[in-house]
Structure 1
C-alpha cells in the first residue's frame, strides 16, 4: 500500500514539473537513428529505484519504466520494441530507432529518497527541421487585341401631354356627384316608407266618401212618406 502511495505522489509531482523541463539540452536526430539517453539523479543518499519518463510533443507525459539501482532489474512493464535497458546500470536508456512523430520530446529520470523527489539530466530530442524549397516561375504576359465595336443610338420617348385640371376636376366632382345621388335615393326610400306607415295607421282617411247630390236633384223620400 505504501508503494502505491509513493507511485501516486511521483506521478503527480512529475505532472506539475513539466514546465521545469523546458531547460534542457537540444539534440537533433534523424528517423531510424539509435539514441543513447543519459540520466543520473544526483542526491546525497542513493535511492533504490530510478524512474524514467518523457514528455512527448504530440502526446503529453509518458511513463517509460522504473529500474532498481542495485541490479538494474525492471520493476514495471517495459516497451522492448522502442527502448533497450542493456546499459541501464550505467544510467543510459537506449532508444532503438528514433521516429520524429513518436519520439520527439523531453526525456528525464528521477529518484525517490524518502519524501524527496530528485531529478536527473534533461534531454530534448527533435527531428530534423523541414526543408522548404522555393520554386520561381516566370510567366510571359500574353496580350490579345480585341476590337469592340458598339453603336448606341439615342431614342427619345414621347409622352403625351396630361391636362392637370382634368384630373383635378374628376377627383372633386366624382365623389360629390356620388354623394348627391346617394342622398336622393335615401330621400325616396324615406318618403315611401313614411307613406306606407301612414296608410296602415289611418285607413279611414282613404275610404271612398259618398257623393253629395245637387239640391234640385234630391229625391223627395221623406215627403212621399207623408202622403
Structure 2
C-alpha cells in the first residue's frame, strides 16, 4: 500500500483512539525540552508519529524504520523536534501556542493498526505576582514593601475540552467513511482484474 494512503488511514484511526483521552499528561515549561515516549504493543518495521494540536488539528510528524532511518517527515521537523527514534521523539523548545496537544504513534501490522500510549503536552501557566509601588510613609516612618496578590480576585478559568465536540463526533464518521472508501477501491481493482482475466480466456 502507498505510504500516503497508510498515513491517511492512520490519521483516521488515530482520531478514534484519541476520543477516549490521553494515557499520560505532562506539564511543560515554555521554551523547555520534553521527551515523548510511545511504543506500539507489537514491533514492526515502520512506526509513524502523529499529534493532534489543541489550536489546529491532526499533523503527521515522522515515520521511522526499525534501524532508526527516517523514511518521511514533515518539512519543519528539524525546527521543532530533535532527531528521535522509533520509540521516542523530543520537542526541542516547547511553545504552548504551537505544541500543546496529544502525541502518539502507530504501527501497521498486516492489515491491523496497533497504537502506543498517547501523551498530552500542556503548557505551564505562569504565576503572576506584582509588587505595589513604595509610598511615602507619614511621620518619617520607614518605607515598607507591600505585595499585591492579584490572582486572588481573578475568576477561575473554565476548563476547556481537549478537542472540539464536533471533532469527537465527526472523527469516527470520517474513520468509517475512509475504511469504506478503501474497501470500495480494493473491490473495484479486484473486480476489474477478474473481468480482464475472463476476457483473456474468451479470446
What CA distance in whole angstroms lies between the structure 1 residues aligned with 2:150 and 2:114? 48
Q: Give the aligned partner of residue 82 of structure 2.
A: 84
What CA distance in whole angstroms lies between the structure 2 residues aligned with 1:93 and 1:33? 14
Aligned positions of 1:45-194 closer than 5 A: 46-69=43-66, 71-78=67-74, 79-85=77-83, 87-88=84-85, 91-131=87-127, 133-134=149-150
Q: 5+ unaligned residues in a row in structure 1: which ranges?
A: 137-227
Q: 5+ unaligned residues in a row in structure 2: which ranges?
A: 129-148, 153-203
Matched positions, count = 131
Structure 1's 12 and 135: CA in aligned 2 closer, same or farther, altered over 3 A? closer
Question: Deviation at 1:93?
Answer: 0.5
Q: Give the aligned partner of residue 27 of structure 1.
A: 26
Question: Deviation at 1:4?
Answer: 4.2
The 8 Å contact of residues 22 and 102 in structure 2, kept in 1 or not, is answered as no
The two structures have a TM-score, normalised by structure 2, of 0.58
Structure 1's 4 and 122: CA in aligned 2 closer, same or farther, altered over 3 A? closer
Structure 1's 72 and 5: CA in aligned 2 closer, same or farther, altered over 3 A? same
SS in 1 for 2:73: coil
What CA distance in whole angstroms lies between the structure 2 residues aligned with 1:135 and 1:7? 45
What CA distance in whole angstroms lies between the structure 2 residues aligned with 1:8 and 1:97? 28
Structure 1's 31 and 10: CA in aligned 2 closer, same or farther, altered over 3 A? same
Structure 1's 131 and 10: CA in aligned 2 closer, same or farther, altered over 3 A? same
Question: Deviation at 1:18?
Answer: 2.9
The two structures have a TM-score, normalised by structure 1, of 0.52
Structure 1's 34 and 4: CA in aligned 2 closer, same or farther, altered over 3 A? closer
Q: Give the aligned partner of residue 6 of structure 2.
A: 6
Q: Give the aligned partner of residue 143 of structure 1.
A: none
Q: Deviations over 1:120-151 (max 9, x none)?
A: 12111111135465289xxxxxxxxxxxxxxx
Q: Deviations over 1:4-56 (max 9, x none)?
A: 44333222222333303x1321111111101111111112xx31110101111
Please tell me whether Structure 1 or Structure 2 has the larger radius of gyration of its CA atoms.
1
SS in 2 for 1:33: coil
Q: Deviations over 1:171-193 (max 9, x none)?
A: xxxxxxxxxxxxxxxxxxxxxxx
Question: Deviation at 1:114?
Answer: 0.6
